[in-house]
Structure 1
Amino acid sequence: MFDKGQSQNVGDGSNVIQGGNDVNIHMGLSYSDARSIALDVAKSTFHDLAGEAKILMSDRVEEITEAVISRLSREYSPGLDKAKDPDFQFALLSVQREYGRCGDQDLGKLLVDLLVDRSKEDTRSLKQIVLNESLQIAPKLTQDQISALSLIFLLRNTINNTIVDYNTFGAYLDGHIQGFIDVLPTSNQTYQHLEFTGCGTRGALTTSLHGQLQHDYPGLFHRGYTDEEMSGLHLSQGLKNTCFVPCLADPSKKQFAFSKLQGLTSYLESIATPKDEVLRAVDLYKNNIISDDAVKQICIDIRPYMSELFNKFETSDASAVHLTSVGIAIAHANLKSLLPRIPDLSVWI
């Protein structure tokens, strides 16, 4: 027989399905509930203001709050429940306050991106701490400084695996790098400020732009071997037939057919190449790179606008900056709208 004496205790925000035993399914905060809580948080941002300033602040705060809740609802609905979390409310309050003060659309978009990413962290992880800090630091930067972080991040902290020849390299420069060149600051005070805010460090050891590109994409910058040199490489004819292609820099020569050293070593392992021959091939690959000036000239030949980028890196502290976790988080958030396929921040933090 069925038990007629069932009873249920239902909490706020819960739906209940009646079964043989009570089943509680928590559905979380609704859009309107999360928005209401978020606007309650916002009241302290303009409580002490008066007149037109109070009205303007109120309008801006409502605008940025709506943007946050809408993004969470579309992209990460469990994040709506974070409206009840004190730490999230503190982060939200920072976004409301900073956007309310200036109304800068670019800053607002960046802060929303950072806050939505932060909402996805359920525990007090390093990533959550970094994102909380980034919400405090981003408003202290100009848009040009944020662009500088983004460009340095792309050049220093990422490698694009689609680059295999000059055509794909040129396409990468067009889609990722060109847009930042005109706005890249050259004033060393800019990079001092990035260091002051904790976004980057300026080290005594610097890596030139052409050195960075050469390191990341060595296959683009091989000198190549003449037919005479090929005959003296002490590699088996089988490897010579399968591992070499016409040289990108000089088609009359031959170079290794691998854009990165890892590709060469993986191939050699896959065909059970003797160890001594692997070591010779690796040594040849590493020592066939062209000069620094030649690397620079190839880049400029491929895309003439690279001349300006090289000049800016060579005449400023841009080449000396290494991003901190906060700098990486801000750069990543800024790039998300420009590069929709950029991997999640967890790749770096």
Structure 2
Amino acid sequence: MRKWLTQRQSSGDKSINFQAGGGIHLGIGYRDAKDIARETAMEVFEKNFTRLANEAWRTAQLRAGEFTDHFIEGIYGWDDPPLGQLNDPGIQSALFSAQSGYAKSGDPELGDVLIELLSERLKYSQQRSTAQLAISKAVELAESLSGPHLALLSCNLLMKQITPAQVSSVNEVASAIAGMLRPFTDGIASIMPSDLDYLAGLGCLIPTMGTLTLGKYTGMNLPGLFNRGFTNKEMIDAHLLIGTPIAKLKEPDEYRYSVNAITRVDLLNLLEVHGMQDLEETAMRALMGPVLTEHEIEKILSAESAELANSLDLCNALGIPGYLNTAIGSAIGHANMRRAVPEFDLPFESLLKEIPRVRPRFA
């Protein structure tokens, strides 16, 4: 095992380390740290950004200064501001990428997305993980994206990686999804098929072998709401569920039943509450087996929300179901979601583990 000489420094609570000559370590309070952090951040920019003609250089400096002020103000409001991490080489590299990206464009939307990405990057400074690497790359690439590109990545994220939580009806699902997509539909309207290839070339999207539609993901994650139900004739062991708290009568005329749960987690909890875990395989088959097709689900959702129907038509016409966000694309889409909907607080790392569910607060 190699012995590294460049080790991280650490100090007590409410102090930041700076290394002076002769191996002396000085800790300072947060009162002065904010100003020092800004000076450090601007020094990173001024020593690395390409010198331009006088007027262009002044514009770049002003933009970088404004970006830095917003960034420092944002993290200074955290419960435990990680200002000392600005001395980390990886953080400084990401900071410079973000500063220079905004300095070149002056686009406020891009500036907000870069601040969200940079703030998220600070959370992963101590671990070299997929989340950290994806966010670092996302900071580099963000300046190469337009507003519609950002909107597309957020839409793709919402339609394929996030499911509404605390919903109990098809109408609530449609309203929640429409509300989540609302801030991005105008941007999607100006997307062209060539933009998908462009984003794929940058590493933000990846083409899939088939199509991955909103209907498919919604059916997978909320099967209890999009279910044909079952009868004794269709399911040989249905009698094990009928007459128990696990099943409910769906269509009396046909003696058709459905599972009394919306998600797989709901079903597992229901089985545990009633001490019927031995029926898990049968109950799960009854929940997942009779799920409607993706096209049927999208038709139902569209009938519930004209706004959602319009978004689906746009995305399907562009061929978006044929693409998935990469981890980098998800990092950018997540940051843009945070920009557009401040109350959206789903951690980025959760997107890399499983399909998370969020409360439909955006409807």
Measured against the shorter chain, the TM-score band is 0.7 to 0.9
Q: 1:339 to 1:171 in 2, by over 3 A?
A: farther
The answer to whether the aligner puts 1:257 opposite 2:260 as a matched pair is: yes
2:16, 2:322 → 1: CA distance? 55
Q: Which residue of 2 aligns with 1:283?
A: 285
Q: Which residue, 89, 92, 116 being the options, matches 2:95?
A: 92
Gaps of 5+ in 1: 1-12, 16-23
Q: List gaps (5 residues or longer) in structure 2.
A: 1-14, 18-25, 353-363
Aligned CA-pair RMSD: 3.2
Counterpart amino acid of 1:298? Answer: I
Give TM-score scaled by structure 1 length.
0.81
- Residues 186, 312 of structure 1: 8 Å contact kept: no
Which of the pair has more CA radius of gyration?
A: 1
Corresponding residue to 1:175 among 165, 170, 179:
179
SS at match of 2:73: helix
C-alpha distance in structure 2 between counterparts of 1:236 and 1:119, whole Å:
50
The amino acid across from 1:177 in the alignment is L
AA matched with 2:338? K
Q: 1:130 pairs with 131, 134, 141, which one?
A: 134
Please show how residues 58-137 of structure 1 align to structure 2 within 5 Å: 58-75=61-78, 77-126=80-129, 127-137=131-141
- Tell me, yes or no, if structure 1 residue 30 matches structure 2 residue 16: no
Q: How does 1:224-239 map to 2 (within 5 A)?
A: 224=229, 233-235=238-240, 237-239=242-244
Structure 1 counterpart of 2:208: 203
Give the fraction of aligned pairs with identical amino acids, expressed as a percent. 23
Match of 1:39 among 42, 53, 61: 42
Structure 1: how far apart are the matches of 2:49 and 2:214?
46
What's the CA shift for 1:204? Answer: 1.4
Aligned residue in 1 for 2:163:
159
Distance in 2 between residues matched to 1:165 and 1:14, nearest whole Å: 51
**What's the offset of the Cα at 1:44?**
3.5
98-107 vs 257-266, which moves further: 257-266
Measured in 2, the distance between the counterparts of 1:296 and 1:116 equals 36
Segment of structure 1 superposing worse, 314-323 or 281-290: 281-290
SS of 2:331 mapped into structure 1: helix
Taking the aligned partners of 2:262 and 2:56, their CA distance within structure 1 comes to 57
Alignment-derived partner of residue 154 in structure 2: 150
Superposed displacement of residue 92, structure 1:
1.5
Structure 1 residues 88-97 or 144-153, which shifts more?
88-97
SS in 1 for 2:77: helix
Deviations 1:245-274 (A, max 9, x none): 657xx9x96532211233224322432337
Counterpart contact for 1:34–1:69, Cα < 8 Å: yes
Question: Bigger relative contact order, structure 1 or 2, given CA contacts below 8 A and separation 6+?
Answer: 2
Question: How do 1:287-326 and structure 2 match up within 5 A?
Answer: 287-326=289-328
The corresponding residue for 1:192 is 197
Question: 2: CA distance between counterparts of 1:58 and 1:94?
Answer: 14
Aligned CA distance change for structure 1 residues 298 and 109 (closer, same or farther; 3 Å) = same
C-alpha separation between the residues in 1 aligned to 2:117 and 2:312? Answer: 31
**TM-score normalised by L of structure 2:** 0.78
